[in-house]
Structure 1
Amino acid sequence: MDLPPAPNGLYNRWNLALHWGNCSGPNCHVRNNLLKCGACRAVYYCGGAHQRAHRPQHKSSCNLIKNARAQLAQEEAALRARPGDMFLEANPFETARGSFWRFTPTRPYMQARFDLISTLLNIKTGAAVEEALEHSLDMLQLNPGDNQGIRSHVPALYLRLGRDQEAYDFIKWYGTIGAQSGYEWGNPESPFLNLHDEDVFEPLGGIAKALFDLSIIVSLVNVKVRLLLDIRGLEKEFNKPAKRNTSYEKKMEWVRENATCDVLYKRRDIVERTEWTDLVAALESQAKEVFDRVEGRNKHYWPALRSPELHAAAIPTAYSPGSPEEVKLVFRNTWYSWAECPPAHELVKSWHAA
């Protein structure tokens, strides 16, 4: 394989459709010596000719991001220069971290940062999605109570980046620790997003039922479906008579070439098995359980996924749980994590059609 690994050392992101690591110019696949767009800093080019050729398509989003960056810089400078008073202590990025939104003077900054995330996500590049995720996670650390609904799109951003393990850790935290009735959201000492390398193969237990945010539940389906597809592929490849005694190293070559999620990179115990039938059955059962949970929460979501052209441009509005209006927001949060992994998208469409 001549593709470079992702920053986390894994190759799986190259099996996803998000535009990664090459020039954004027309039909250009150059990967070396790329130059970042100086205005938006979210797309790359091999040179000025392709930057100019792409400018008509890029100009609108580029200007939106440029302006959003300028607004955020202005709000951050004002907040850092603000003297402490009865409304907010000085140096709020340290003194108010953990309960940022509670102080009214911080809100213009938080809104400006949210707006930058929104503009970044208009661009379908890995650099834009990574930056949007970084902003989102830092905003959650500033304000774990999340008055802006940041948490809703985070798992799907992880999935778009091929970071399925982290998506699952995030989801499990909200379905376990964050779902506890006595959790102190306003206490900066409370453990927050502190789960790492959780077992993605594990039974759901009460996680799916504890989650209420529909976008997060949908992403849990996606996590389980992608892993199911990877294990099915592994089973199909190495159940061939000539390959049943294949070494772990050879199996990992297949994983690097074909896996869509990153989970198997740390699961030697799974990869080196010679039989995966039980895992396939368990993962399919888990995925369908959460699939049904989505259906129970909002019967309009899976039909929307089957007809994306009817929902891609829909503008989210006020909604009640279970309504078609809720799907507008959830679709916006989750659609690209399906579209950029066609096998997962096709599988859930087949389940809805059944």
Structure 2
Amino acid sequence: MSTPPSPPSPSSSPQAQRTDGPPVRIGVLAPLTRPGWAEAGHHLLAGIELAVHDVNEAGGIGGRPLEPVVRDTAADPQRAAAAVEELARLGVAALAGEYHSVVARAAAARADALGVPFLCSSAVLDALTGQPTEWVARLAPPQSRGWRIYADFLLGAGHSRIAVAAEPSVYWASGLRILRDHLAPRGGTVLELDKRALTPAALCDELAGNRATAVLLLVGHPEPAVPVVKAVRRDRRLAGIAIGAPAGQPEFAGWAALLGDDGAAVPFLRYLPERLGPLGARVGKALRERLAEAPSFVAFEGYDTVAVLAEVLRSHGTDRAGVAAAWPRVAVEGTRGRITFSRTPGTGVWQWDATPVEVVDRDPAAPDRFRILHSG
């Protein structure tokens, strides 16, 4: 495609090419407006829509077009749960997507209750459902796996006294607990600073007074992450402190646009392999054209979600129970590797357990280029 798409409508999607018959519909959940992280949502949707295009170019689902029905969750768990109920009434064969962990958890709970298979693309919160379910599968790694890898990177880089600027959230609290539990037996300490109670300047005072060697941003983007980064970068007392953002805020172009050079050298977690194979390279090129910017790992997650669902729908039919029963038998070549699902303790869902995990940052010499710092 030669031009980036216009913003997607909240209810429709591209029609199939070279296919006929009634469409096979899948529900798609994504944060497309604020207060959701809309930039991530649009990358997720771009990957989903590109994969739908490719599926339909290849003949669809047994000659029927695959049609996504998109709903904007806007980072609202109640809105997501209502969308799941609506999409279930519309007769979708399965659900896909979502970026925010707390929102995905609400969607997964409703999908489980209603008996609608849900392949979660991006959310990482370990306990995605309150109880084990056969209806939900996930592509992104559990938070405990990724954040432990991040903690190992911190220790390897010489950081044992780490401050965390945090906002209240189940997701941030879970991340903080993972870091503490992993670092403490290895000689690391974690100091929690409540960002709600501290201005950026007051936060800098706390960092200087506690002699932290690294500060992690467990906060939203762009507010308050951007003002905090600017304040730390400009405080001479903190010239040697490292800034980290394990949740991935620096992945997107908006981070670089707002922070410029200040946004470089902020390590974060990214779910891509060191090198993409032929499929990943082809998809990456097409995503770049569609987005008019470098695709994030979230866009690849979106593509892989549809690739998995399309294979399941082709091989196991469009009956919801049949789709859910197929999770343990899936074997699909995705953009980032071969995708299979197994039961991972503590998650309650079918989990791709070979998701590639990297710690990367933006290169200070060229902030539009990423450096791989650690792999796990």
TM-score by length of 1: 0.28
Higher Cα Rg, which structure: 1
Q: Quick check: which one's helix share is greater?
A: 1
Q: Quick check: which one's strand share is greater?
A: 2
Say which structure, 1 or 2, has more relative contact order (CA 8 Å, 6+ apart): 2
